[in-house]
Amino acid sequence: MQTGEIIAMTDKYVMNTYSRIPIAPVTGAGARLYDADGKEYLDFTAGIAVNSTGHCHPKVVEAICRQAAELLHVSNLYHIQRQAELARVLAEASGLDKAFFCNSGAEANEAAIKLARRYSRVSGRSEAYEIITASGSFHGRTLGALTATGQAKYHEGFEPLVPGFAYVPFNDLAALEAAVTEKTCAVMLELIQGEGGVHPIDPEYLAGLSRLCKEAGILIIIDEVQTGIGRTGTLFAFQQYPGFKPDIVTLAKGLASGVPIGAVLATAEAAKGFAPGKHASTFGGNPLACAAALATLDVIVNDGILCNVREVGAYMQQRLEELQAASGLIAEVRGCGLMLGIELKEAKGAAVVGACRDRGLLINCVGDKTLRFVPPLIIQKSDVDEAVQILASVLLEAL
């Protein structure tokens, strides 16, 4: 099928929930995608931070094929070897103790919300159910995760929302302190707000938040759906803050290189909130997804990917800052590792994204002004040079 035929079929049969870009990728390799008409693209979106090992990494493909030939699904009524192995790897790598598996980041955040609320009940704080989140946050599209999201534009049309959430400005410790009450059971934050515009957390704010929560007996939930699994240069972004340890961490996007999976990691204490019958997932932690995740982690941890993220990420940030200085069109460059954003001085992000696509570079825009770069973690400096060259030419014409 050609691109036009695929677009027509999508328009006819698929619900209209995305303003889709008019290309139809059909194959991929590494950091490259190829559409139904044979056009090549340099992919700096990676399925929105999902294709962590690139497209069709041989080790991941092999693991998926091998597992598919052995066992796809048996449900969590039984013990699942690959699931147990993945839980062990994640627990040992994170310093947390227990894992729960589901199918997406939104599901992981829903599970974390339920875990925090129920932990309050079993720990004797029966009045505590409220969760504080940050303005500008994004935690998913299911109703609970949507309510946790601190952006009104995502709430519109879905009211009434789930009760029990409060929002405070990001990186404002005084506002957080003022929001805490006897009803507060947890604080839920991203360490870099992705959909909010690639805004990193202030280390001093995080340290103050940690002290506050520990003193008040409040759980800390860190949403690493986008930052997790090497995106920032360490396996988990929270590991870049010495002495900081969350109670609950949520993961998804980059965990299995594109196979749907979500995970919740928790301390043994926080994990007491769950018991048989209190939460579940039919497909969560199935053998196929866990095999893909194990292969992904093997590649990232043992094939030098974390070092590559730090080195190439720093190089890309430098190139973008050089472009900022040379063009005068960029207000700010921010981010960490291979999760970077540039804020344009003018609200022409969509036009820049479209022009880059026409020249073979895939990026995306959050809001009107912020361009987001979340490429596969295997990209090289030569890929960065190519991307920045395209972006520079587009900026000079579009702005």
Best CA proximity match to 290, nearest among 21, 79, 8 = 79
Cβ 100 vs Cβ 249: under 8 Å: no
Cβ 273 vs Cβ 59: under 8 Å: no
Which superfamily, per CATH, for 3-56+304-398?
Aspartate Aminotransferase, domain 1 (3.90.1150.10)
Please report the pLDDT score of residue 347 as a whole number. 86
Which is catalytic among the residues 44, 101, 138, 165? 138
Burial class for 321, CB neighbours closer than 10 Å (0-12, 13-18, 19+):
middle
Cβ 253 vs Cβ 225: under 8 Å: yes
Q: Has 253 been annotated as catalytic?
A: yes
Helix 287-302, helix 81-94: angle, nearest 10: 40
In DSSP terms, 339 is beta-bridged to 336
Q: Does the structural domain 59-302 have CATH classification 3.40.640.10?
A: yes
Please report the pLDDT score of residue 399 as a whole number. 62
Please report the pLDDT score of residue 397 as a whole number. 83
Q: Has 223 been annotated as catalytic?
A: yes
CA distances from 135 to 150, 166, 221 (A): 4, 9, 16
Token pair in block for residue 157: 């049309």
Q: Three-class SS string for 120-147?
A: HHHCCCCCCCEEEEEECCCCCCCHHHHH
Separation of alpha carbons 51 and 117, rounded Å:
32
* Model pLDDT for residues 209-256, shown as the tens digit of each residue: 999 999 999 999 999 999 999 999 999 999 999 999 999 999 999 999
Helices (H), the chain: 3-13, 46-49, 58-70, 81-94, 105-122, 143-148, 152-155, 173-179, 203-216, 287-302, 305-327, 349-358, 381-398
Best CA proximity match to 384, nearest among 333, 291, 314, 283 = 314
Count the Cβ atoms, other than its own, within 10 Å of residue 363.
Answer: 23
Which is catalytic among the residues 43, 223, 247, 383? 223
Separation of alpha carbons 136 and 141, rounded Å:
15
Q: Has 345 been annotated as catalytic?
A: no
Token pair in block for residue 329: 């069109």
The whole-model pTM stands at 0.96
* Model pLDDT for residues 344-395, shown as the tens digit of each residue: 999 889 999 999 999 999 999 998 899 999 999 999 999 999 999 999 999 9
Check for a shared fold between 3-56+304-398 and 59-302.
Answer: no
> Which amino acid, residue 64?
I
**Which residue ranges make up each domain of the chain?**
3-56+304-398, 59-302
- Complete DSSP assignment for 192-237: EETTTTSEEPPHHHHHHHHHHHHHHT-EEEEE-TTTTTTTTSSSSG
Pairing between β-strand 40-43 and β-strand 248-251 as defined by DSSP bridges: unpaired
Give the chain's residues under pLDDT 50.
none
